[in-house]
Amino acid sequence: MTTPVLFLLDHTRPLEETLWVLGDLCKDRDLGIQVLVCPDEALLRLVTPAGWEALTGHPVVSEQELPKYLEQKPLAVFCQDWRQDLAPMLAHSGIPVLLWGDELPPGVPPGSVALPEFEAMEILRRLEQLATPQDFAGKTVLVTAGPTVEDIDPVRFITNRSSGKMGVAIAWAAAVRGARVLLVHGPMTAEVPDFPGLEKFPVRSAQQMHDVVRDHWSEAQVAVLCAAVADFRPDHYVPQKIKKIEGEGMVLVLERTPDILAELGAMPKHPFLVGFAAETDDVEINALNKLRRKHCDLLCANDIRKPGSGFAGDTNQITIYAPDGTVLALPMLSKQGAAYRILEEIAKRV
C-alpha cells in the first residue's frame, strides 16, 4: 500500500497520544502507509512543521493545501475530531473518513468508519482493509501457530525454535481480508495482538493443539497450519523432577504426536487446507511429498537453512506449491508481506 493517508490533527486531543500513535504508524511495514499530517494552528504552535516532518518523513500539509491533496485521492482521511468547517470538503471528496469516536456524523463518504480507540494497530487494520478486497467476509479461517511444548517432567520439556511470527502474520492477513480468524497457538514469543474478528486458543502440547483444532475445524472454510508441531513427545510424563545419577546417562523414549495436518487432509470433506514445510534439504522433493501425502490444497515451503528464512526472524522466503503443478517462488519478504501473498493465493482458489 503506497497511497498516502491524510491525518487531520486536533489540539483538543492529547498531544502525547497523537505523537505516539503516529510514530507507530510511521514504522516500516510491508504495506507501509505514507503518513501526511495536517495539524491545526494550535498544534503547530506546540510542535513546529519541522518537528512533524521529522516524525513522519513528509512535509506538513496546511489546511489551504487540503483540496489539492484530496484531489490526489489518498486512501483515507483520519480525523481526530469532526470539523464542521471542513465537513463539506471531506464529504464532497468521496474519500473514506476514519473518525476517532463512537459514531459517524451524517453525510460522510461511503466506506467511512468510526474508531472508538485511537490505536495504531487498529488504524492500520482499517486502512489495510480499505486497500484490500474483503473477499473473506463471512468466512472463518483457522490458523495454527508457534511451537508446541512436550513436557518430560515438571522442569524439562521438548520444543522448537518457532516464534509464532509467521502464524500471527497469517492471522492478521486473513482478518484484513474480512475473515473471522481462529488462532490456535502454542507458547510463543511473538506478541498476539487483539483485533476484531480474532479468537485465540492458547495451547501447550501437540495433543492439545490437535484437540482444539478437531473441535473447531468444521467451522472453518480455510485452515492454514503454520505451527511447528512437535513430531515426538516423551512416551510418559514423570510428575517428579527426574534425578540425575552420577556417571549415568539417560534414555528418553519418544512416541509420535498426532499429525494434525495429515488427519485433516484425510477427512472426506475438509476446509481448504494450507500446510507449511520447514525443510533443510531437498526442499522441493520434500515439499511436494508433503503436499500429496497430507492432501493439502497449497503447501508453503521454507528453506530454514537460508539466512533470513524460517524460524524466529522477521523475514521469510516461501515457495508455494499447488496440486495442479503451480509453483510460486516468492522473494524474501517480511513475514507479514509473505502472509499477504499467501492469502492472495488462497483467495484465488476459494
Among 60, 228, 273, 283, binds ligand PMT (CB under 6 A): 228
**Is there a contact between 47 and 20 (Cβ–Cβ < 8 Å)?**
no
Q: Which window, 32-40, 50-58, 254-262, 320-328, contacts ligand PMT (CB under 6 A)?
A: 254-262
Interaction pattern, residues 158-177, with ligand PMT; x per rule: CB under 6 A: ----xxxxxx----------
Contacts of 187 (CB under 8 A, 6+ apart): 146, 147, 149, 159, 202, 204
CB of 350 to ligand PMT, least distance (A): 18
Interaction pattern, residues 273-292, with ligand PMT; x per rule: CB under 6 A: --xxxx-----------x--
Task: Give 212 or 277: the residue with its C-beta nearer to ligand PMT.
Answer: 277
Interaction pattern, residues 323-342, with ligand PMT; x per rule: CB under 6 A: ------------x-------
Beta strands in the chain (DSSP E): 4-9, 34-39, 76-79, 97-100, 113-115, 140-145, 150-151, 157-158, 180-185, 198-202, 222-225, 232-234, 254-256, 272-279, 298-303, 315-316, 318-321, 327-329, 333-334
Task: Give 36 or 183: the residue with its C-beta nearer to ligand PMT.
Answer: 183
Rg value, the chain, Cα: 24
CB of 47 to ligand PMT, least distance (A): 37
**Is there a contact between 78 and 43 (Cβ–Cβ < 8 Å)?**
no
Cα(147)–Cα(157) distance, rounded to whole angstroms? 12
Q: Which window, 77-85, 175-183, 228-236, 325-333, contacts ligand PMT (CB under 6 A)?
A: 228-236
Task: Confirm or reject binding of residue 271 to ligand PMT (CB under 6 A).
Answer: no
One-letter amino acid for residue 67 of the chain: P
Interaction pattern, residues 96-135, with ligand PMT; x per rule: CB under 6 A: ----------------------------------------
Q: Going by DSSP bridges, is the β-strand pair 254-256/298-303 parallel, antiparallel, or unpaired? A: unpaired
Apex 231 CA angle, 227 and 233, nearest 5: 115
Cα(36)–Cα(138) distance, rounded to whole angstroms? 33
Give residue for cell 508481506. 337
- CA dihedral (303, 306, 309, 314) in degrees, to 10, reads 170
Q: Which window, 47-55, 113-121, 235-243, 252-260, contacts ligand PMT (CB under 6 A)?
A: 252-260
Report the site for ligand PMT in 180-209 (rule: CB under 6 A): 206
**Which residues in this chain contact ligand PMT in the complex, by CB under 6 A?**
144, 146, 162-167, 206, 225-229, 231, 257, 259-261, 275-278, 290, 302, 310-312, 316, 335
